[in-house]
Amino acid sequence: MIRPHKAALAISAGLLTGLLTACGGTNTEDLRSYVEDVKAQQHPHIEPLPEFKPYETHLYEAAADRDPFTPPVYAAPKSEVAKAGSGGIAPDFNRPREPLESEPLDSLRMVGTLERNGNSWALVRMSDSTIHRVKPGNYVGQNYGKIVGISESEVEVTEIVPDGLGGWTERQASLALSE
């Protein structure tokens, strides 16, 4: 004996099969003709890829020469080397460094002067807004700059910089009063 639940399942499966079979008879001729038209159209002409020239290698033959990324070393005349090495200008590396030597000279600003009992001082501001009182003989900047004079409008500095030949040379600079 067939149970009612299984009978309903069998009937619905039969109906579904019948419906699907009925759908198979639809007219799809317009779809087939459209597909044939698209296939029959001429394909666009695509240019072939260009031929590339083979890469030509280059043999680096200057390996024994000076590295182009390092500065050149020029040979100085013997008289200049002797002058720079013996008795020439050179910074004092043994003295203690002062606070204003930790910054480049162009980042320091003169903001005023003080005078008392014939002594003059300049007020110099660092980039962190700290103000220092300096007098002739103090050092400023990163190039061993020594203060040689103070006026109301500027601080005169003599720096000792490398000359590129293994020696040192003096250079004059100043800190102007900033407003």
In tens, the pLDDT along 127-178 reads 898 899 999 999 999 999 999 999 888 999 999 998 888 889 999 999 988 7
Does residue 124 contact residue 108 with C-beta atoms inside 8 Å? yes
pLDDT, position 120: 87
By DSSP bridging, strand 131-134 and strand 139-140 are unpaired
Q: What counts of helices (H) and strands (E) characterise the chain?
A: 3, 7
pLDDT, position 83: 46
CA distance 172 to 85: 22
pLDDT per residue as tens digits for the range 76-120: 554 444 444 444 788 888 889 999 999 998 899 999 998 888 888
Indicate whether this model's pTM tops 0.75. Answer: no
Residue 142 tokens read as 């990163």
pLDDT, position 146: 93
pLDDT per residue as tens digits for the range 10-59: 788 777 776 666 555 567 888 888 888 888 887 777 888 888 888 888 88
The phi, psi pair for 113, rounded to 5°, reads -135, 155
Domains of the chain: 96-176 (2.30.30.830)
